[in-house]
Amino acid sequence: MLNPKLKLNPKIFNQDCEQAPIRRGFGQGLMLAGEKNENVIGLCADLTESTAMNLFADKFPERFIQVGVAEQNLVTVASGMAAMGKIPFCSSYAMFSPGRNWEQIRTTITYNDRPVKIVGSHSGISVGPDGGTHQALEDIALMRVMPNVDVISPCDAIEAKKATLELAKSGKPAYLRLVREKTPIITTEETPFSIGKAEIYWMPDTGFAQVGIIVTGGLMSRALFAAKELEAEGIKTKVLNLSAVKPLDEKEVLALAKECKAIVTAEEHQIAGGMGSAVAEFLAQNFPVPIEFIGVRDQFGQSGTPNELIERYGMGKNAIKEAVKKVLQRKI
Amino acid sequence: MFLPEEKIKELTKKANEIRMSIIEMLIEAKSGHTAGPLGMADIFTLFYFHILKHDPKRPDWEERDRVVLSNGHICPVLYATMAHAGYFPVEELKTLRKLGTRLQGHPHREYMPWLENSSGPLGSGLSQAIGMALADKLDKKDKNRFIYCFMSDGEMDEGNTWEAMMLAGKYKLNNLIAIVDRNNIQIEGITEDVMPLEPFHSKWKAFNWHVIEVSGHDFRFLNEVIEEAQVMSGKPTVIIAHTIPGKGVKEFERDYKWHGKAPSEEEGKMALAELRNVRF
């Protein structure tokens, strides 16, 4: 069942479940953050509308900096603004930022300890028809490998809005990973959120779970459907929303591993270096259990509809169910 | 502010002391860059002992001018000048590049918090200075202070620099003054052989900057052009400072081989002897 304490969207499993692009939640959050704090700045590299920064830019034109198609400049200018007490959010497609400008982010933001928020929209395979050049499948790895940065990948538009508001209050560098396509609304305004706190979204009605499914980002709805169908087949699972890949909620991940002794991780990202790797690194040292990884297997993407691509690259509901069954067999 | 003869003499002496400190640091560290720091010693001296609005006893003074060093590898001159200006003891200079030092091989704010930025990888300092200048415009503090960015000619090869130049022109950042060390060398040779920059002056101009060229060793002219830059309206200013790499030590001057290496003890002693014998 859905965790009753979290006030999740009761329509999650309905045909008419609302959908919204996760990036839209960022746009709304940034506008609200801008209302609350006049030090919040928006910078963009010619993708203002695509990254939903236009809501902020229209409302606060004097606090919006358009740098043109220049992602290296985007983040380094933001670093300078942060040095003067500003809280800059800089948005582009994840493939270009942090894809193209990684060293600038490292030197001038994380090493330099400036509280710039890198916002990478159009992450994952679900970017769709634009094809492999525009599908960022490596960005979690690029960002989480650096010291001194939070890496947040919200599961829906509402969580993205809350994450944006929280990041505006934090004095740390951060990466916010967004998805282009509409995804089902999983949470509600009342669902608790804080950076670094993972929450169990699905749990067995009674007794212990046999497998723990850890999800980050837009695959949450598919994971919940998988969990519901598995329950009907007699397999009890828990689904953990790990929106912060960093800092990792070690307490929740450890508790889930101890209860289930088998884990499946799911993300729209390369398996190498992503959220699953972060979980595996932690569990290997603290409580080793078998893990199956849902993600892209050392390949680039291609053109297609988002749904086709998610199925083609093994990240759909059935793939999650199969991974659960596979890891169950590996349980000692 | 007018520079009287007396002050010029004082600055010349100070720059010579700073050059000696640079050599001493590099001998001790056994690695580091020699040519750039010696070439920029006059300019750093002029800034820290005459131009800058700053207070070494209150490095976090909010109203201070901001100095962004983009080409972090010339940090021996920054550290030596800051020490002589009173930011920290001159003796500490000998810890350059040693484990646990505040004087990292390339500058790092975490170790020395009163630096405005950490730097080393080339081409991103100008962007950071632009960010500071934009923030001051937004906060209407652009009349109170200036943002100075020190950069090298070699790092003009970086695409990031040109992105930055475009943006500064777009936002007409007259509170931003860039000083390019035009010493014509980079690690692998003469800039015009490695990657030609000329026509350097007109390239900046084409990006909507006010461009001034000056000798980087003439205190009076340098002072005058900085004053000119400070009253510029509607445009950022770049001062192309023609410097002699390795300036002050004949053996090191104008030879790109001294870009990225430190003098041996023997070479260093010879250099110190030459600097000690300068008559003012």
Domain spans, chain B = 5-276
> What is the Cβ-side half-sphere exposure of residue B3, based on CA atoms within 13 angstroms?
21
pLDDT digits (tens, 9 = 90+) for B100-121: 999 999 999 999 988 999 999 9
Query: What ipTM does this complex have?
Result: 0.96
The DSSP result for A80-138, as a single string, is HHHHTT-EEEEEEETTTTTTT-HHHHIIIIIITT---EEEEESBSGGGGGG-GGG-BSS
Among the listed residues A215, A273, A65, the one whose alpha carbon sits nearest the alpha carbon of residue B170: A65
A77/B164 Cβ within 8 A: yes
Superfamily of domain B5-276, CATH level 4: Thiamin diphosphate (ThDP)-binding fold, Pyr/PP domains (3.40.50.970)
Select from A67, A83, A113 the Cβ nearest to the Cβ of B116: A83
Cβ(B52)–Cβ(B63) below 8 Å: no
A81/B131 Cβ within 8 A: yes
End-to-end CA distance of chain B: 23
Among the listed residues A154, A156, A162, A219, the one whose alpha carbon sits nearest the alpha carbon of residue A190: A162
Q: What is the pLDDT of residue B223?
A: 98
Q: Residue B280: pLDDT band by 50, 70, 90 thresholds?
A: confident
pLDDT digits (tens, 9 = 90+) for A109-150: 999 999 999 999 999 999 999 999 999 999 999 999 999 999
Cβ(B8)–Cβ(B217) below 8 Å: no
Q: Return phi, psi of residue A120, to 5°.
A: -105, 105
* Cα of B24 to nearest chain A Cα, Å: 28
Q: Decide: helix, strand or coil at residue B32.
A: coil
Select from A72, A80, A113 the Cβ nearest to the Cβ of B131: A80
Q: Per CATH, which fold does A20-184 belong to?
A: Rossmann fold (3.40.50)
Q: Residue B37: pLDDT band by 50, 70, 90 thresholds?
A: very high
Q: What is the pLDDT of residue B136?
A: 98
* Cα of B211 to nearest chain A Cα, Å: 22
Residues forming beta bridges with residue A19, ordered by sequence position: A184
Interface probe, candidates A103, A112, A148, A172, chain B, greatest B C-beta count within 10 A:
A112
CATH dotted code for A196-330: 3.40.50.920
End-to-end CA distance of chain A: 26
Signed CA dihedral, A71, A77, A81, A83: sign only: positive
B123/A77 Cβ within 8 A: no
Q: Which residues contact B84 (CB under 8 A, 6 or more apart)?
A: B14, B17, B18, B21, B48, B90
Cβ(A72)–Cβ(A101) below 8 Å: yes
* Cα of B129 to nearest chain A Cα, Å: 6
B167/A112 Cβ within 8 A: no
Q: What is the pLDDT of residue A166?
A: 98
Cβ(A289)–Cβ(A235) below 8 Å: no
How many CB pairs below 8 Å do chains A and B form together? 99
Cβ(A111)–Cβ(A149) below 8 Å: no
Cβ(B145)–Cβ(B54) below 8 Å: no
* Cα of B273 to nearest chain A Cα, Å: 38
In chain A, how long is the greatest CA-to-CA distance?
A: 61
How open is the CA angle A299-A303-A304, to the nearest 5 degrees? 110
Residues forming beta bridges with residue B69, ordered by sequence position: B150
Q: Which residues of chain A have pLDDT under 70?
A: none
Cα separation, B279 vs A254, in Å, equals 72
Cα separation, A62 vs B219, in Å, equals 39
B121/A73 Cβ within 8 A: no
Q: What is the pLDDT of residue A332?
A: 74
B166/A80 Cβ within 8 A: no
- Enter the DSSP assignment of B264: P
pLDDT digits (tens, 9 = 90+) for B129-167: 999 999 999 999 999 999 999 999 999 999 999 999 999
Interface probe, candidates B104, B114, B124, chain A, greatest A C-beta count within 10 A:
B124
Q: Provide the b/e sequence for A155-185 (b: ≥16 CB within 10 Å).
A: bbbbbbbbbbbbbbeeebbbbbbbbbbbbbb
- pLDDT of B49 > 90? The answer is yes
For residue A62, the chain B residues in CB contact (below 8 A) are 138
From A71, A166, A181, A292, active-site residue: A71
Has A281 been annotated as catalytic? no
